[in-house]
């Protein structure tokens, strides 16, 4: 029988040291379909993608395309076969223009001798790039530097680059994790267009709703093994989660109804020119205050100002009713504010240090005798938090980089809990955390609130904000544009508030223009 | 009977376990290279394995090693200090002037020299931390400025005629051990203990590992960074004073280009130029390797003009071993 699949990966195995990352995995893909690749962190998704992309050599297995065996030994081989991978962190050279990036693989030489000498035809490259940008619906100038583009436009540039390479298979590794909701919909439109052109898309995401929305089929991996391939429409979310984690997980958010106590944090008129305008709110002991809004609404900027990582121009911050002066993160920590940043690898952890050192870092100076660390106190403290937060594996001498995403996040949380903060700011606490660990992080957040910590929860996943928070503040363009109680808050309400502001702005701009005329 | 049979096995297993742990230490590779080198030289030459020769090497390279202790801290934070050679000359000169022109007693003169080194380090630190200059640029500039001050104030002349009490420090022995080596051992232990047991030691590694995370954890990143440059300046100052004492002269060109030997010692000893990794023990071993190598080239009658090429090759080799070791882990 002649195989009709565009891509077949048969019996793929890969071992890293003592860990069997992939064990006899089969994967097939038809032209013009969207295949979701699902599984917890460490299930082997990235390894499979990287073998397909030629970034890792495989230990065993075969790769067939259109019924013929192919050899992929390098990213160049994969590219020649029309396989493109768009990684989460992108593969663009930020200091070059969009056009230079889109045609990095083939810089559109001039015809004739000049071309043979390597002289580039800038105009041809720009025009060709323009055509591709139009196809993916990007409005940016091909001559714009990539570093000036938003994340969403960098992603579109990556897709244009894939098209320039005549990709037949485009793999997208968590393409939506850094995108605001309205950009996600645009991305899905583009994926549907790619589908119609017969391009196969492999879509990796932790978000089930998205998988359901865009994918035709789903391949589930667990612990390096293939669990199954299913048609998305024929499977429930619960079944899918069970396939991924191997057990039933309570996907309901574990929010306990609590009576928040006295006000712990009061922010008055916080302003940072061009970024934040007159932010006012209060946070009470034991309260989870959710901040919703589109990406770029100023939520991260606000939390950085409160914590002291960035300066602000005017306004005041009161802790337990007393004004505090916070000029640096050091001041913020001293005042009793903890900050779990959105990017735990770049900002939250010191990856090459041990779990113990990472957890102890925030309070190391308190556990000293004349400046010299009492390591036995540190050890018992760290062991305590590792147990309480169920950090796995519970070996504190492991380096942070050896832990999975969810457990890395627990380490960051442990670091701040050790400080016994009054206020804890959580910026995207479950980004890139797999389903099982996500539920654990949610339970933990709930527990911390019960212990009386005031929690600021920033998340771009609306269900998370809506279900975990006692109150929700909606931000847009650096301002708080709405406050909703837990009961009032719905996805529609929040999205309306978050986007209505920009509509008003453009209306006003329109009026002003008319007045000028 | 059974006890007696299992016991030696148990001890052997324990020794093997300890050895296995020791071998996994980053310094294991460098230590074995050093031992192999020494073994090779002991067999091929008759003069290498004499206590005179060994202590000579240790004395001649203890200044490089002491300076390497300081630069190790700088490198671990992810910085670099190119001015250490100039600081050696500067501190040496200040100490020498203190002894000859200002008639200071030996100990205050030495402290003044060390302090002078610390001041240059402080300037480095402030340029980097307050004015946000790249460490490479700031310390490259200070390399020139400091050397220029030395040459300018002396008009290129040497300073000499020191009291015997001073030259004894560089040239004398306690028992069979040269005094500079004792300085090195004491300083290495102090700095080693500091990095391991003081909380600022952990901060130094944390800053080199990820400065943004360290900042967002509320660590005193600025103060720690200035501190490591001051330490590098003071230790290089001490090293420079030992050079003056050993040679009995402070010359304006003294320690010219030493920064390369100092940085090479640290890097050969496994200190990462990207920050976050490295130990004092490694840096001292690195300095010893350079010392033994220079000595070996002399013993094996390699012309002086070729020595630099060999040292350069060893640096590349050490860096390759380091990459290989990291990739394996």
Interchain contact A346–B (C-beta under 8 A)? yes
- The pLDDT of residue A509 is 45
User: pLDDT tens, A227-250?
Assistant: 999 999 998 888 888 888 776 555
Mutate to test the interface with A, among B193, B218, B277, B327 (most CBs of A within 10 A): B218
Q: Is residue A510 pLDDT above 70, yes or no? A: no
- Torsions phi, psi of B274, nearest 5? -90, 0
User: pLDDT tens, A285-342?
Assistant: 999 999 998 777 899 999 999 999 999 999 999 999 999 999 999 999 999 999 999 8
A357·B205 Cβ contact <8 A: yes
- The pLDDT of residue A150 is 84
- B positions 154-213 inside 8 Å of A (CB): 197-200, 202-203, 205-206, 209-210, 212-213
Q: Specify whether the CB–CB gap between A147 and A95 falls below 8 A.
A: yes
- The pLDDT of residue A18 is 64
- The pLDDT of residue A511 is 45
**Residue A500 or residue A327, greater confidence:** A327
Nearest residue, CB atoms, B197 vs list A347, A361, A373: A373
Q: How many CB atoms lie within 10 A of CB B101?
A: 9
Q: Is residue A516 pLDDT above 60, yes or no? A: no
- The pLDDT of residue A390 is 87
Q: How confident is the model at residue A495 (pLDDT cuts 50, 70, 90)?
A: confident
Interchain contact A247–B (C-beta under 8 A)? no
Length of chain B: 329
In B78-203, which ranges are E strands?
159-160, 173-174, 177-178
| Shortest alpha-carbon distance between residue B198 and chain A (Å) | 4
Q: Is residue A170 pLDDT above 60, yes or no? A: yes
- The pLDDT of residue A392 is 82
Nearest residue, CB atoms, A364 vs list B202, B216, B277: B202
Reading the block at residue A1, the tokens are 């029988």
Cα distance between residue A333 and residue B86, in whole Å: 40
CA B267, B269, B270, B276 torsion: positive or negative?
A: negative
A350·B210 Cβ contact <8 A: yes
Cα distance between residue A157 and residue A100, in whole Å: 11
**Residue A434 or residue B63, greater confidence:** B63
**Domain ranges across chain B:** 55-328
Mutate to test the interface with A, among B78, B195, B213 (most CBs of A within 10 A): B213
Which parts of chain B sit beneath pLDDT 50?
1-7
- The pLDDT of residue B301 is 85
- The pLDDT of residue A41 is 67
- The pLDDT of residue B26 is 66
B305: exposed, middle or buried (Cβ count in 10 Å: 0-12, 13-18, 19+): exposed
Cα distance between residue A491 and residue A240, in whole Å: 24
In three-state secondary structure terms, A165 is coil
Q: How many CB atoms lie within 10 A of CB B135?
A: 22
Crossing angle of helices B27-44 and B2-24, in 10° steps, is 100
End-to-end CA distance of chain A: 72
**Residue B100 or residue A500, greater confidence:** B100
User: pLDDT tens, A344-386?
Assistant: 888 999 999 999 999 999 889 898 888 899 999 999 999 999 9
B216·A329 Cβ contact <8 A: yes
A347·B212 Cβ contact <8 A: yes
Mean pLDDT score, A468-486: 92
Q: Is residue A191 pLDDT above 90, yes or no? A: yes
A346·B212 Cβ contact <8 A: yes
Give the CA angle between residues B87, B90, B91 to the nearest 5°: 85
Domain B55-328 -> CATH class: mainly alpha
- The pLDDT of residue A336 is 94
In the 3-class helix/strand/coil scheme, how is A398-425 assigned residue by residue? Answer: CEHHHCCHHHHHHHHHHHHHHCCCCEEE
Cα distance between residue A238 and residue A247, in whole Å: 10
Length of chain A: 517
Q: Which of A190-199, A502-511, B119-128, B161-170 has the highest mean pLDDT?
A: B119-128
**ipTM surpassing 0.90, yes or no?**
no
Give the CA angle between residues A21, A26, A30 to the nearest 5°: 130
Nearest residue, CB atoms, B206 vs list A334, A350, A371: A350
- B positions 126-145 inside 8 Å of A (CB): none
Mean pLDDT score, A432-442: 81
A92: exposed, middle or buried (Cβ count in 10 Å: 0-12, 13-18, 19+): buried
B218·A362 Cβ contact <8 A: yes
Q: Which residue of A has its CA nearest to B329?
A: A17
> Which single residue is written with the structure tokens 């016994």?
A420
- The pLDDT of residue A504 is 52
> What residue ranges define each of the domains in chain A, with the CATH number in brackets?
1-82+168-248 (3.40.50.300), 92-165 (no CATH), 263-505 (3.40.50.300)
A190: exposed, middle or buried (Cβ count in 10 Å: 0-12, 13-18, 19+): middle
Q: Is residue A451 pLDDT above 60, yes or no? A: yes
């Amino acid at each position: 029988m002649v195989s009709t699949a565009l891509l077949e990966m048969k019996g793929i195995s890969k071992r890293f040291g003592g860990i069997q990352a992939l064990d006899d995995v089969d994967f097939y893909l038809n032209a013009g379909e969207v295949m979701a690749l699902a599984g917890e962190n460490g299930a082997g998704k990235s390894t499979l993608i990287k073998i397909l992309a030629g970034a890792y050599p495989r230990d065993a297995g075969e790769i067939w395309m259109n019924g013929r065996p192919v050899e992929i030994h390098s990213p160049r081989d994969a590219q020649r076969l029309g396989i493109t991978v768009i990684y989460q962190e992108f593969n663009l050279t930020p200091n070059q223009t969009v056009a230079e990036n889109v045609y990095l693989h083939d810089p559109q030489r001039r015809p004739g001798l000049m071309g043979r000498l390597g002289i580039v035809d800038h105009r041809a490259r720009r025009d060709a790039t323009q055509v591709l940008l139009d196809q993916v619906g990007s409005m940016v100038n091909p001559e714009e530097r990539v570093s000036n583009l938003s994340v969403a436009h960098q992603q579109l540039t990556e897709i244009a680059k894939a098209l320039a390479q005549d990709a037949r298979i485009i793999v997208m590794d968590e393409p939506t994790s850094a995108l605001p909701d309205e950009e996600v919909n645009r991305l899905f439109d583009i994926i549907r267009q790619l589908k119609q052109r017969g391009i196969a898309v492999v879509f990796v995401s932790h978000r089930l709703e998205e998988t359901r929305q865009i994918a035709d089929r789903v391949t589930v991996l667990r612990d390096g093994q293939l669990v199954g391939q299913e048609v998305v429409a024929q499977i429930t979310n619960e079944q899918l989660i069970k396939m991924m984690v191997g057990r039933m997980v309570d996907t309901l958010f574990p929010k306990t109804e609590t009576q928040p106590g006295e006000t712990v944090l009061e922010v008055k008129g916080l302003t940072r020119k061009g970024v934040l305008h007159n932010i006012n709110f209060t946070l009470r002991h034991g309260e989870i205050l959710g901040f919703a809004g589109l990406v770029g609404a100023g939520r991260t900027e606000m939390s950085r100002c409160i914590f002291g990582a960035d300066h602000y121009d005017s306004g005041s911050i009161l802790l337990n009713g007393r004004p505090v002066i916070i000029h640096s993160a050091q001041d913020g920590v001293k005042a009793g504010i903890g900050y779990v940043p959105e990017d735990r690898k770049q900002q939250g952890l010191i990856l090459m240090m041990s779990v113990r050192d990472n957890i102890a870092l925030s309070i190391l100076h308190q556990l000293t005798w004349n400046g010299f660390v009492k390591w036995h106190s540190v050890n018992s403290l760290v062991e305590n938090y590792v147990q309480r937060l169920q950090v796995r594996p519970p070996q504190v001498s492991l380096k942070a980089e050896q832990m999975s995403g969810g457990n890395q996040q627990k380490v960051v949380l442990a670091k701040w809990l050790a400080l016994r903060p009054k206020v804890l700011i959580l910026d995207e606490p479950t980004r890139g955390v797999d389903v099982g660990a996500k539920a654990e992080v949610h339970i933990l957040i709930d527990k911390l609130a019960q212990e009386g910590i005031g929690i600021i929860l920033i998340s771009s996943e609306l269900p998370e904000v809506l279900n975990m928070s006692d109150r929700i503040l909606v931000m847009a363009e650096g301002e708080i544009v709405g406050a909703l109680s837990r009961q009032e808050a719905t996805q529609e309400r929040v999205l309306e508030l978050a986007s209505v502001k920009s509509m008003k702005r453009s209306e006003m701009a329109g009026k002003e223009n008319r007045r000028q005329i | 009977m059974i006890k007696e049979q299992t016991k030696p096995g148990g001890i052997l297993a324990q020794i093997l376990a300890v050895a296995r742990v020791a071998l996994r230490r980053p310094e294991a590779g460098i230590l074995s290279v050093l031992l192999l080198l020494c073994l090779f030289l002991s067999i091929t030459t008759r003069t290498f394995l004499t206590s005179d020769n060994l202590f000579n090497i240790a004395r001649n390279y203890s200044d490089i090693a002491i300076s390497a202790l300081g630069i190790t801290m700088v490198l671990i934070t992810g910085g670099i200090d190119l001015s250490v050679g100039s600081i050696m000359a500067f501190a040496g000169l200040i100490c020498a002037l203190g002894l000859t022109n200002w008639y200071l007693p030996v100990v205050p003169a030495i402290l003044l020299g060390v302090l002078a080194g610390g001041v240059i380090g402080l300037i480095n630190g402030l340029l980097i931390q307050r004015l946000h200059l790249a460490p490479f640029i700031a310390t490259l500039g200070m390399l020139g400025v400091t050397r220029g001050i030395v040459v300018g104030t002396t008009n290129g002349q040497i300073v000499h005629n020191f009291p015997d009490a001073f030259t004894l420090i560089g040239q004398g022995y306690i028992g069979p051990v040269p005094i500079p080596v004792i300085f090195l051992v004491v300083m290495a232990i102090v700095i080693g203990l500091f990095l391991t047991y003081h909380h600022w030691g952990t901060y130094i590694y944390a800053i080199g590992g990820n400065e943004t995370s360290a900042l967002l954890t509320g660590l005193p990143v600025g103060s720690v960074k200035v501190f490591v440059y001051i330490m590098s300046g003071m230790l290089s100052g001490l090293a420079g004073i030992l050079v003056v004492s050993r040679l009995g002269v402070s010359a304006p060109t003294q320690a010219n280009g030493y920064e390369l030997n100092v940085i090479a010692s640290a890097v050969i000893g496994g200190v990462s130029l990207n920050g976050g990794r490295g130990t004092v023990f490694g840096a001292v071993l690195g300095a010893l390797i350079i010392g033994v190598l220079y000595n070996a080239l002399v013993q094996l009658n390699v012309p002086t003009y070729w020595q630099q090429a060999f040292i350069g090759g060893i640096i590349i080799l050490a860096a390759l071993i380091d990459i290989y070791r990291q990739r394996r882990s």
